[in-house]
Structure 1
Amino acid sequence: MERRIIDSVPHIVGYHTQEFRPMSQPLEKPVKCIAKNAWLGIGFYFWTEIEFAHYWGLDFKIRNTGSYDVYIAHLDTSTCVNSVFDEEGYFFYKEKIEETINHFQTSGMNVSLEQVNRFLSDNIWPQIGVEGIIFDDKPTNPGRNPNRVYSLIPELYYKKRIQIVMFNTKRIRNFAIHLENVEQPDA
């Protein structure tokens, strides 16, 4: 993970992958993910390693236009829950998820990823000042590309596939194109 100090504040370098669209190039700000199945809810998603930004482009962003872009930004994560490297942050994040699931279950409601994330983003995160989450994502996307290699030893996923979702664009600095019009490599 790369880090930078900007105005005396530590930032993590993040990579944001989007479809290449010639008529809207380059983007001036990241695209907000509003998908119902977004792991961490509605927000601006970044990878901490360019390798995974490329995998995301190849697995998801290349389909419609034949190529993708990778943007770079500096992320002020001082108001993020770090569920990857901070033990307290991990248990706090896990506790909030479990409390939310319990809230829905005791109310006799069905629980879904979208409901949990919406509840957290509407009722929990803003009240306690959480403006993002650092999360260790699953190492594979089943069914997308079964030949993707995340480890030299099958099933030993020693590399963390870290995503950061930012809820507040004020915490995203120096957003710029990093790699433009990346195409599928020859097989």
Structure 2
Amino acid sequence: MARAHDLEYEAEFESEYEYEDEFEYEAPPPPLRIRIVHGRSWGADREFEDEGDFFDPVPPPAGARLLTRFAFGGATLTAAHRRVIVQLAKDLLRDGPMGNLDCLDVTIVGHEDELGEPARFGALGQRRAEAVTKALADEMQRQVARIPAASRPRGQFVITVQTLGPTRPMRSNLTADGRALNRRVEVTLGRPGLCPDVV
């Protein structure tokens, strides 16, 4: 008698299991589309006329997000840098390209002060720009996982990475504070629009 009851239970369980398998599960949302390109950069092939060849300060681009005060000779991101990156990722995902053929351009430029060996100028700024680029792309992927599929950007984010070396100081390099501000990365956001290859 107990065995008959067990068989009846097993048949009922199998029926429920088969019924559950008939459900159609929602397809996973498409991955975030991020393309990273390397723009033309100021390189170490440039020559200084002499040790006093200072560049005049130039204001940052209008609307640029600034990550300043990198350590001298370093490209490690600080806690302050990461807070800027978290907010950048939020803004990009909020205002990102929604159409499949749309793009949003992001330009990330690394800068240096004028201290150090001229032969190494350019490489450090590039490392800083690439550190910010990687952290931003990772943060965007982390945040997009919490956004409903229907609200996720479906277009492409095109991130251009480059360095201008020490050629665009925002402050005078004659002071320690000015040099700290010049050791920076600038992030400029464009507006969503049709990708150039489909215009």
Give the TM interval when normalised to the shorter protein: under 0.3
Q: What's the TM-score once normalised by structure 2's chain length?
A: 0.22
More strand by share: 1
More helix by share: 2
Q: Which has the higher contact order (CA 8 A, sep 6+)?
A: 2
- Greater Rg, structure 1 or structure 2? 2
